[in-house]
Amino acid sequence: MTRRCRPYPQLVGADCWLPVEAFEFGWATAVGCNNLRCPDCGEAVRWDGQPGRTVRRYWCACQEHLETWTYWIGGEPEDLYPEKLAWYCDGHPDLKLPAVLDGVTLDPGTGWGAVAAAAMLEEPFHPPRIDIRQAWLVRLYHLLPRDRAKLSTAIADLMYATDPRLVVGALEFFTTERKAPGAERITDVVTTRRDWLAAAHDPRTPSVPLLDDAVLLLHTRLLDTGRATDRPALALAKELALSGIGPHETAATLLDHDRKWLWANARSLIHANPDWAADLAYLATQQRASMRPRLLRDLAAAAPDATRKAVTERIPEPERQRLLKLLHEADAEGGPDEPG
């Protein structure tokens, strides 16, 4: 099977990665395409440029381009004066096993769990300018034509490991590849290992418990909206939120997936985690005008300062004064229910 760089082939500067193997393709931003062709002159596109010199020159018989960072061919419509290069990705063959990738032997009988664990402890190669944790494993996952599900399933098994480095590596992989087979097991991991995750820490950031990383992955799963939403992950995210556990964007994520639930539990969420008060107040100001008085009055009972600040900064006149008056009247009727 021939694969092509998606969504567009990229040109990259000399300090970025332009792989030489034919099977390498654009699996991430800043991975250059190494098989470009010009439809006008029919030539293969050539290039030169040395790392440390920033500029890479691309050319064919009829066009030339100098690149210092990255350029998506065909992705220029927002440019004022787009270059409109006609070059296209002429395709990349599959990585065929057996093969050796960066010194790692891969074949149909490879133990993918062992490969993944070794890469997490010491990455065989990290492509330059690729800002992705576990980049080598993400790259391998995209390069494998038939065994990628075996690889990601083996990585999911490592979320149950006793070595925090392996658990972190698995969580990082699925944070990038949230649709990979095995990512759905994060719900069970958090449910069954919650105490262990809360007590364990990433050696690179010892102040952060692994539970934070795991819950971040849980919320990352919810980026797949609509019918594809991971329903067990959503249910667990709600349960954790009522205990004050969740990333900074917890309120916005839950709003996207269950608006009624969020507003019905907004005060409880503020009591559980007062840091969410400002986000909830801001989100309330963005709801329909007919809903805002009820939502803001309810929030003000738990977080008066954050609610008034959101109204003052986000609501234009004359509605602003009407809402501030409403909040003042609510204060007069009964003292604010401050979070403990």
**How does pLDDT run along the chain (340 residues), one tens digit per residue?**
688 888 889 999 999 999 999 999 988 888 999 999 999 999 999 999 877 788 999 999 999 999 999 998 987 655 545 567 889 999 999 999 999 999 999 998 999 999 999 999 999 999 988 999 999 999 999 999 889 999 999 999 999 999 999 999 999 999 999 889 999 999 999 999 999 999 999 888 999 999 999 999 999 988 765 556 788 999 999 999 999 999 999 999 999 999 999 999 999 999 999 999 999 999 999 999 999 999 999 999 999 999 999 999 999 999 999 999 999 887 777 554 544 4
- The Cα 234–Cα 175 span in angstroms is 16
Q: For residue 263, what are its two tokens?
A: 């507003």
Reported pTM:
0.87
Q: Specify whether the CB–CB gap between 174 and 186 falls below 8 A.
A: yes
Coil, strand or helix at 273: coil
Burial 278-292 (b: 16+ CB within 10 A, else e): bbbbbbbbeeeeeeb
Q: Specify whether the CB–CB gap between 323 and 315 falls below 8 A.
A: yes
Burial class (CB in 10 A: 0-12, 13-18, 19+), 255: buried
Q: Specify whether the CB–CB gap between 158 and 167 falls below 8 A.
A: yes
Q: What's the pLDDT score for residue 339?
A: 46
- The Cα 178–Cα 68 span in angstroms is 31
Q: What's the pLDDT score for residue 79?
A: 53
Q: Specify whether the CB–CB gap between 58 and 33 falls below 8 A.
A: no
Residues with Cβ within 8 Å of 84's Cβ and at least 6 positions away in sequence, in order, are 76
Q: What's the pLDDT score for residue 340?
A: 40
Residues with Cβ within 8 Å of 17's Cβ and at least 6 positions away in sequence, in order, are 30, 31, 32, 127, 128, 129, 130
Q: For residue 66, what are its two tokens?
A: 């100098």
Burial class (CB in 10 A: 0-12, 13-18, 19+), 232: middle
